[in-house]
Amino acid sequence: MKLLITGGAGFIGSNFIRHLINKYPDYHITNLDKLTYAGNLDNLKDINGHPNYTFIRGDICDAKAVADAASGVDAIINFAAETHVDRSILEPGSFIQTDVYGTYILLESVKAHGIRRYIQVSTDEVYGSIESGSFTEESPLMPSSPYSASKAGSDMLVHSYWKTYHLPAIITRSSNNFGPYQYPEKLIPLFITNALDDKQLPLYGDGLNVRDWIYVMDNCEAIDVVLHKGQEGEVYNIGGGNERTNVEITEIILRETGKPKDLIRHVKDRLGHDRRYSIDSSKLRTLGFKNRYSFEEAMIDTVRWYRENEWWWRKVKSEDFKKFYKKAYGEVEW
């Protein structure tokens, strides 16, 4: 197969490309990425020069760049998106542009080239918050942030293209991912790298917001299963079955880094902060998928990876990074 991966220099996309290269020696992978602040070619340093891998720098909002990259491919898997809630609250315009308009450009290219499969990689955040129980794929979409609204909009656009044009499209919605190469704006890598530097860990509100966590390689395997076995026009939730409060996550990180709890600093709660996410992944399991990684072991491995790869994260925690987070979190030591 020839696959076009958009946003392949980002966190989940780069791990997915590595998964494909290792599992399918006869597949050819083209990676189209704009290389925004969160896109990093160091994420794929180990496969640079691989004969079955091609990188193209380009924007999914650029119709010509997409058309050129999509020519002759069998499937497109779209990871390209603006993804961080804090940034969407402060700068929502780029989220609408990339997540919605960029998806439109990709769908038009699928239609024009007769591409046989399109996977839209989405998020459980489109469902909003739930007090008890779990969301299924049939649950209504109730996004709470500009980020999740942009992803819900792109999901609905994908569904409309399947319904109207019979495009061979599938949507995946995963819970919170963690693991190697995650840009340190998200909770786990931010808190790990701050703790390693004895810097404060800015915890929103009371820290009792609940998220379901999935190790990134489990999500990659699940998307692989959907790519090969999923049914067109369907949505598949991808959960980890590991619900934890943000306080619990923070305490695990402090334990594994050997740092004191007085590094925790409670800051003003995020605007529109969802209280709890939970998704039912039983539909995915009918395709034969099973989570392989235990949460506890994956967390230990993740902390170890950031400890052993300072060369990677010190590059990205630049002065611009620190300025943004002073703006987002207030007066927190960086």
Residue-wise pLDDT tens digits, 14-40: 999 999 999 999 999 999 999 999 999
| Residue 330 pLDDT > 70 | no
Res 218 pLDDT > 70: yes
Structure tokens given for 152: 């819900």
Proportion of the chain above pLDDT 70, given as a percent: 96
Q: Is 333 inside a domain boundary?
A: no
For the segment 192-201, what is each residue's pLDDT rounded down to a tens digit? 999 999 999 9
Give a yes or no: residue 109 inside a domain.
yes
Question: Any idea which of 31-35, 82-86, 138-142, 177-181 has the lowest mean pLDDT?
Answer: 82-86
Helix extents (H) in 24-101 = 63-70, 85-90, 93-95
Q: What is the CATH number of the domain that holds 250?
A: 3.90.25.10
Distance between terminal CA atoms of the chain?
Answer: 45
Residues 24 and 77 in one domain: yes
Of residues 124, 185, 224, 274, which has the active-site annotation?
Answer: 124
169 three-class SS: strand
> What's the burial of 231, exposed, middle or buried (CB within 10 Å: 0-12/13-18/19+)?
exposed
Query: Residue 281 falls within a domain, yes or no?
Result: no
Asked if residue 171 is part of any domain, the answer here is yes
State the amino acid at position 23 in one-letter form: K
Q: What pLDDT, on a 0 to 100 scale, did the predictor assign at position 334?
A: 53
Q: 136 and 41, same structural domain? A: yes
124 tagged catalytic: yes
Q: What is the pTM of this model?
A: 0.95
Average pLDDT, the chain: 95
Range of 306's domain?
A: 187-211+242-269+294-326
Does 163 have pLDDT greater than 70?
yes
Q: Give the pLDDT band of residue 333 (cuts 50, 70, 90).
A: low
Query: How many helices (H) does the chain have, and how many strands (E)?
Result: 13, 12
Please give the helix or strand (H or E) that residue 267 lies within, else none: strand 264-267
Q: How confident is the model at residue 318 (pLDDT cuts 50, 70, 90)?
A: confident
| pLDDT on residue 140 | 98
User: Taking Cα atoms as reference points, which of 243, 216, 223 lies closest to residue 171?
Assistant: 223
Q: What CATH number is given to the structural domain containing 84?
A: 3.40.50.720
193 within 8 A of 322, measured Cβ to Cβ: no
Looking at the domain assignment, is residue 285 inside a domain?
Answer: no
Average pLDDT over residues 110-139: 98
**Domain contains 154:** yes
CB contact at 8 A, 53 and 47? yes
Residue 323 has a pLDDT of 72
Whether residue 263 sits in one domain with residue 116:
no
Q: Could you tell me if 246 and 208 are in contact, meaning their C-beta atoms sit under 8 angstroms apart?
A: yes
Residue 230 lies in a domain: yes
- State the catalytic residue, choosing from 82, 86, 99, 125: 125
Q: Do both 9 and 147 map to the same domain?
A: yes
Q: Is the pLDDT of residue 322 over 80?
A: no
Largest Cα span, the chain: 57
Under DSSP, the state recorded for 291 is -
Q: Are residues 141 and 192 in the same domain?
A: no
Whether residue 163 sits in one domain with residue 252: no
Calpha distance 148→83 (Å, rounded): 8
pLDDT given at position 321: 72
Catalytic residue, candidates 53, 118, 127, 147: 147
Q: Are residues 299 and 232 in the same domain?
A: no
Same domain? 17 vs 166:
yes
Angle at the Cα of 56 from the Cα atoms of 52 and 58, rounded to 5 degrees: 150
pLDDT exceeds 90 at position 326:
no
My answer on whether 11 and 24 are in the same domain is yes
Are residues 149 and 225 part of one domain? yes
Structural domains in the chain (count): 2
Averaged pLDDT, 135-149: 97
**Residue 277 included in any domain:** no
37 and 158 fall within a common domain: yes
53 is catalytic: no
Verify that 203 and 141 share a domain, yes or no. Answer: no
Q: At 163, which amino acid appears?
A: K
What distance in Å separates the CA atoms of residue 303 and residue 324, rounded to the nearest whole number? 24
